[in-house]
């Protein structure tokens, strides 16, 4: 299974329970699973986090992080268009700004039964247009999605995790 991380999965982790300096094992765990190709981020999503002006953005700019977490493929433009259609038929430029980079994340999972989107967003099925949430668009596109807490359970993170040393 390839887990595709939404920017909010890392931002939320860093800003809440798993700060870079507070739980460094978590960030090593992410490197490890990225190096094992079980966890990646499309370039458009990666750049969202990297463009920040904080400790997390600095971590994202490190060559080791890019090497392990960046999904090394271009997202199919037809898949992006398919995903954008789930937001509405006629999208304005303002709508596209509201939607942001989410269609690239979702498109990276489209047509791949072995991929799963990881997002901190929650389903809000009553929302429509550009305010739709990632889980609901994933549901419409028949793409599996999970919350980061489920990812942590699926890939068995703990603060005693030490498999990173095996990678070196």
pLDDT digits (tens, 9 = 90+) for 7-56: 999 999 999 999 999 999 999 999 999 999 999 999 999 999 999 999 99
- Indicate if the pLDDT at residue 75 is higher than 80: yes
Decide if 118 contacts 155 (C-beta within 8 A): no
Q: Kindly give the residue spans of alpha helices, DSSP state H, lying in 90-168.
A: 93-99, 102-109, 134-140, 148-154, 164-167
Q: Tell me: pLDDT of 132 over 50.
A: yes
Residue 162 — very low, low, confident or very high, per pLDDT cuts 50/70/90? low
Residue 138 has pLDDT above 70, yes or no: yes
CA distance 1 to 162: 21
Eight-state DSSP code of residue 6:
-
The angle formed by the CA atoms of residues 148, 149 and 150, to the nearest 5 degrees, is 90
Q: What is the pLDDT of residue 143?
A: 98
Q: Which residues pair with 116 in a beta bridge?
A: 3
Is 80 exceeded by the pLDDT of residue 161? Answer: no
What per-residue confidence (pLDDT) applies to 159? Answer: 77
User: How far is it, in rounded angstroms, from Cα 64 to Cα 60?
Assistant: 9
With beta carbons less than 8 A apart as the criterion, state whether 22 and 157 touch.
no
* Calpha distance 134→137 (Å, rounded): 5
DSSP 41: B
Residue 163 pLDDT class (50, 70, 90 cuts): low
Task: Say whether pLDDT at 96 is over 50.
Answer: yes
**Which domains are assigned to the chain?**
2-167 (3.40.50.1010)
Above 50 in pLDDT, residue 127?
A: yes
Q: Coil, strand or helix: which one is 57? A: helix
Return all residues near 68 (Cβ < 8 A) that are at least 6 apart: 30, 31, 32, 34, 35
pTM of the complete model: 0.93
Edge-to-edge strands, sheet with 39-40? 39-40, 2-5, 115-118, 145-146
- Higher pLDDT pick, 165 / 114: 114
Q: Give the residue-averaged pLDDT of 109-137.
A: 97
Position 168 confidence tier, pLDDT thresholds 50, 70, 90 = very low
Taking all residues of the chain, what is their mean pLDDT, rounded to a whole number? 94
């Amino acid at each position: 299974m390839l887990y595709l991380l939404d920017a909010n999965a890392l931002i939320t982790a860093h800003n809440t329970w798993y700060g870079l300096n507070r739980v460094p094992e978590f960030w090593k765990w992410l490197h490890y699973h990225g190096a094992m190709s079980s966890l990646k981020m499309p370039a458009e999503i990666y750049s969202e986090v990297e463009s920040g002006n904080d400790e997390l953005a600095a971590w994202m700019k490190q060559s080791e992080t890019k090497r392990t977490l960046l999904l090394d493929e271009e997202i199919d433009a037809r898949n992006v268009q398919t995903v954008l259609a789930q937001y509405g038929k006629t999208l304005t430029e303002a709508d596209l700004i509201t939607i942001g980079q989410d269609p690239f994340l979702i498109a990276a999972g489209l047509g791949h039964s072995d991929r799963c989107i990881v997002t901190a967003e929650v389903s809000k099925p009553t929302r429509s247009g550009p305010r739709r949430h990632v889980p609901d668009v994933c549901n419409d596109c028949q793409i599996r999605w999970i919350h980061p807490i489920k990812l942590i359970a699926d890939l068995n993170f703990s603060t005693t995790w030490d498999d990173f040393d095996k990678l070196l």
